[in-house]
Structure 1
Amino acid sequence: MRRLLRLRPLAAALVAAALWSWPVAAPHPIVRGFVAPATPYAAGHRGIDVRAPEGAEVRAPAGGVVRFAGWVVDRPVLSIDHGGGVVSSYEPVATTLQAGDRVRRGDVIGTVLAGHCASPCLHLGVRVDGAYLSPLLFLGGQPRAVLLPLGPDGR
């Protein structure tokens, strides 16, 4: 619970400051949405899958420094450190970038490869201080949750 409370101000500040641009060209049909795991090691879907044709350009949604570019298990992955504990990841992506390379918002960072979804898609993940959040919070596609007061009958 402490970790969640610590993440909220940072995530809210990022969303309020400037929304990220989508990493692939429109339209942006989401094939599979974000499903938060119950615990750090539980099942879940730690990102969103956006349908995109094989070979489509993948662009940096915000500026940062490449943290990782290489293979994870059976697919190529690229991660960008955006500062402030925020890291985005993309898979499967062919790239010529290497760890330490700087990227600006809108720079081409790679191309979509087949292999993650039944038809080609880009998996986009976002971590803040190591905890996964829905990328839609950064892309402007997820409204903020608003808690409403309970009625007199408790509903």
Structure 2
Amino acid sequence: MSYRSVLTRTVGTLLPGLMLVSTVLSVPAESSKWQPPVEDPLRVSGPYRAPASPYASGHRGIDLPAQPGKSVIAPVAGSVSFVGYVVDRPVLSIRIDSHTVLTFEPIETHLREGDVVARGDVAGVAGSGGHCLSECVHLGVRVDGAYVNPMRYFLHKPVLLPW
């Protein structure tokens, strides 16, 4: 038997198994999705609208319907990186990793900078005011300082199949 035929048989035998393993390994765990912070299933009253440039108008997050006093939970684990007022709104920012920060506003919270929150912990309660026509909590996400659409963290991630 020639080297070429052995190699062809080996690759022909192993390739389908490797493709199956790579497909299984690429499927994200259900827990990799963020937990809806106000209601399950997630309801959005104001969608993300990317600005044309960093300083142009847009809607750099999503609005989640919530009456003042409604509990807001941490959709993912992280550490509190900011608690305070921005303009006239109470804001809470949670650092998820070295690249990603999520921000809620308006939100009243008992948390302090440096506190660690687990996925599902109560982060605070919806405040009043803000830019919504009706009551809401705004959720923004920045990756390396740039705003991204938060919906990418709540939806199933696409899976590339090998065929």
Q: TM-score range by the shorter chain?
A: 0.7 to 0.9
> What is aligned with 2:56?
42
Measured after TM superposition, the shift of residue 30 of structure 1 is: 1.5
1:11-50 equivalence runs, <5 A: 16=28, 18-50=32-64
The DSSP-based 3-state class of the residue aligned with 2:96 is: strand
**2:139 equivalent to 1:124:** yes
Shift in CA distance, 113/21, structure 1 to aligned 2, threshold 3 Å:
same
More helix by share: 2
> What is aligned with 1:114?
128
Scaled by the length of structure 2, what TM-score is found? 0.74
Alignment length (residue pairs):
129
More strand by share: 1
**2:117 equivalent to 1:103:** yes
The DSSP-based 3-state class of the residue aligned with 1:137 is: helix
Identity of aligned residues (%): 50
Equivalent residue in structure 2 for 1:89, among 103, 107, 111: 103
Output the CA distance in 1 between the equivalents of 2:65 and 2:128.
11
Matched to 1:99, the amino acid is E
Q: Structure 2: 5+ residue runs without aligned partners?
A: 1-26, 159-163
Shift in CA distance, 20/96, structure 1 to aligned 2, threshold 3 Å:
same
Whether the aligned pair in 2 keeps the contact of 1:28 and 1:51 (CA below 8 Å) is no
1:39-78 equivalence runs, <5 A: 39-78=53-92
Output the CA distance in 1 between the equivalents of 2:81 and 2:50.
23
1:81-136 alpha-carbon deviations (Å, 9 max, x no partner): 00030100000000011111100000001000121212210100001101111110
Measured after TM superposition, the shift of residue 138 of structure 1 is: 0.3
Measured after TM superposition, the shift of residue 27 of structure 1 is: 4.8
For the aligned residue pairs, the C-alpha RMSD in angstroms reads 1.8
Q: Structure 1: 5+ residue runs without aligned partners?
A: 1-14, 145-155
Whether the aligned pair in 2 keeps the contact of 1:21 and 1:61 (CA below 8 Å) is yes
Scaled by the length of structure 1, what TM-score is found? 0.78
